[in-house]
Amino acid sequence: MRKMSLKTRLVLLHTGLMVLVMCVMFSLLFSISSNEILSNVQNTLEERVSKSMEDIEYENSRLEFDSDLMELDSGVYLSVYEEGSTELLYGKIPYGFSYDLPFENGRIRTISSGATDYYVLDMTFPIENYHPLVVRGIVSITDAERDFRYTVYLALILFPVLILLTAVCGYLLSRRALLPVSQITKTVQKIQKERDLSKRIRLGSGSDEIYTMAKTFDELLDTIEAGVKREKQFTSDVAHELRTPISVVLMQCEELLNGGHLDEERYKEVEVIYRKVKSMSDMISQLLLLSRADQGREKLNLEALDFSELGQMAADEWKDIAAEAEISLEADIEKGLYLMADQTLMIRLWSNLLQNAICYGKKGGHIWISLQKAGENIKMSVKDDGIGIPPDALPHIWERFYQVDPSRNSESSGLGLSMVKWIVEAHHGQISVESELGQGTEFICVFPALPQGNSR
Ligand code: ADP
């Protein structure tokens, strides 16, 4: 039951309740009606027999019968006898009914004849100057019950039709009632998928519980959006404020290192400071770029870019750095691949991926970079045979400041891959990663290629 949708549950509940109510109602109605019909038949019989004497007269030493006695009014057969004799004087009895049935004055009896049950009532009436007469009334119970049974059959046919109608109405009603709920769910799913906090449910005006919930939800989204905006602004402001003093410290360190006035010990100390401040400065510029991107302020300088040439340049530049870490770098780059891209961001993309491949590679290991045409796209791959990423960490590596293990790289910030992801997506590309712990990692980016004719 819990796995069913709310709509299905409501329809089942509603229909089940209807079935129950109808069952109780029909059985009550049938039992009451059945008794009522039989007592009506008895009343009619009694009335017909007791009024029958109005149609019999004894005049001029002769019995005279009105033809009304012959009529099957309300299904009652009337027959007249002299008391003590079963010889029919007037009237009629149902076909096949026994003429010899003994008389019983004033009591309604049930008599079966063939396949039919009858109520029989005998009444004796005194006649002035003549023998008392007995009037017998006979009425078929089976006929009355048959009529009632038809009503029951009709009800039984109507019953499933009514239930079906109830279920359909219940479905339509609950769908209508739950429409705002599915609208709320769709909006929330959209917010989650598109990461767009500016979306609102906006159900319109209404005052029921669901409308109130949607309104509260929209207000909550207002608060969250404002909070996120404030946080982004704060990050951007902090990064901005720190940039100038950090550049000054960096410049001072460079001057000290290049000045030639430091003894060996001081030189080493300043070098450590320089390295730390340098990674801090890198972090701040990445943070600034990301927060500008969040606020939609980072404009891409798009141009038709020779991606093959850029890849080759990155390979050449990073080959030496990799060699210093005793890692060999091999490049397999298809020539003449163009895309619409921001050159500075694409350089950063190569740098971040290659820096990681070296940083998390192993001595004597390898890095393979490749750039190939794949249909309408360009497939870029940076692969290493380094330490790899544990499977449970893989979904989180794109998050800001996430580091699998900070002790892996003391100078890292955890911003590199979030920057990479943003760059790829800003160029309408897709990025994926495959990694096995202890075996290596491969990052694959796919970008829409520029047709060769548009490249220059
Ligand atoms: P960091 O500045 O820490 O390198 P990134 O965002 O670039 O931050 O990477 C996030 C985490 O992903 C890193 O902490 C690192 O553990 C892991 N990672 C990234 N690239 C690789 C790789 N090529 N091999 C193994 N682990 C990697």
For the chain, the average pLDDT equals: 89
206 pLDDT exceeds 80? no
Structure tokens at 278: 């340098």
Q: How far is the CA of 408 from the centre of ligand 1 (A)?
A: 9
**Residue located nearest, by CA, to atom 3 of ligand 1:** 414
456 pLDDT exceeds 70? no
Name the band, by pLDDT with cuts 50, 70 and 90, for residue 417: very high
441 lines ligand 1 (CB under 6 A): yes
386 lines ligand 1 (CB under 6 A): yes
Q: Which of the residue ranges 202-211, 313-322, 327-336 would you say has the lowest mean pLDDT?
A: 202-211
How confident is the model at residue 453, as a pLDDT?
Answer: 46
Q: How far is the CA of 397 from the centre of ligand 1 (A)?
A: 7
How confident is the model at residue 410, as a pLDDT?
Answer: 60
pLDDT digits 0-9 by tens, 363-403:
999 999 999 999 999 999 999 999 999 999 999 999 988 98
Dihedral of CA atoms 172, 177, 178, 184 in degrees, nearest 10, equals: 140
Among 383, 389, 405, 433, name the best residue to mutate to test ligand 1's pocket (greatest count of ligand atoms within 8 A of Cβ). 389
As a whole number of angstroms, the distance between CA 78 and CA 139 comes to 9
Judge contact between 170 and 9, C-beta under 8 A.
no
2 pLDDT exceeds 70? no
As a whole number of angstroms, the distance between CA 216 and CA 226 comes to 15
| DSSP, res 1 | -
Q: Which residue has the higher pLDDT, 286 or 407?
A: 286
The most confident of 14-23, 159-168, 432-441, by mean pLDDT:
432-441
How confident is the model at residue 294, as a pLDDT?
Answer: 81
108 pLDDT exceeds 90? yes
pLDDT digits 0-9 by tens, 179-197:
888 888 888 899 888 878 8
Give which of 173, 196, 138, 123 is closest to 15, Cα–Cα.
Answer: 173
Name the band, by pLDDT with cuts 50, 70 and 90, for residue 335: very high
State the CB neighbour count (10 A cutoff) for residue 401.
Answer: 11
Among 279, 360, 384, 400, name the best residue to mutate to test ligand 1's pocket (greatest count of ligand atoms within 8 A of Cβ). 360
pLDDT digits 0-9 by tens, 289-328:
888 888 777 888 999 999 999 999 999 999 999 999 999 9
Count of all residues that appear for the chain in the document: 456
Name the band, by pLDDT with cuts 50, 70 and 90, for residue 408: low
Q: How far is the CA of 431 from the centre of ligand 1 (A)?
A: 15
Residue 423 CA from chain centroid, whole number: 34
Mean pLDDT across 210-229: 89
455 pLDDT exceeds 60? no
412 pLDDT exceeds 80? no
As a whole number of angstroms, the distance between CA 418 and CA 400 comes to 6
How confident is the model at residue 234, as a pLDDT?
Answer: 87
Residues 6+ apart with CB under 8 A from 216: none
pLDDT digits 0-9 by tens, 84-98:
888 899 999 999 898
Q: Which of the residue ranges 167-176, 198-207, 310-319, 321-330 would you say has the lowest mean pLDDT?
A: 198-207
How confident is the model at residue 1, as a pLDDT?
Answer: 58
SS3 383: strand
pLDDT digits 0-9 by tens, 35-55:
888 888 999 999 999 999 888
Radius of gyration of the chain (CA): 50
pLDDT digits 0-9 by tens, 431-445:
999 999 999 999 999
Name the band, by pLDDT with cuts 50, 70 and 90, for residue 272: very high
Q: Looking at 9-61, which runs of residues are DSSP E strands?
A: 56-59
Q: How far is the CA of 403 from the centre of ligand 1 (A)?
A: 6
Q: Which of the residue ranges 5-14, 371-380, 407-416 would you say has the lowest mean pLDDT?
A: 407-416
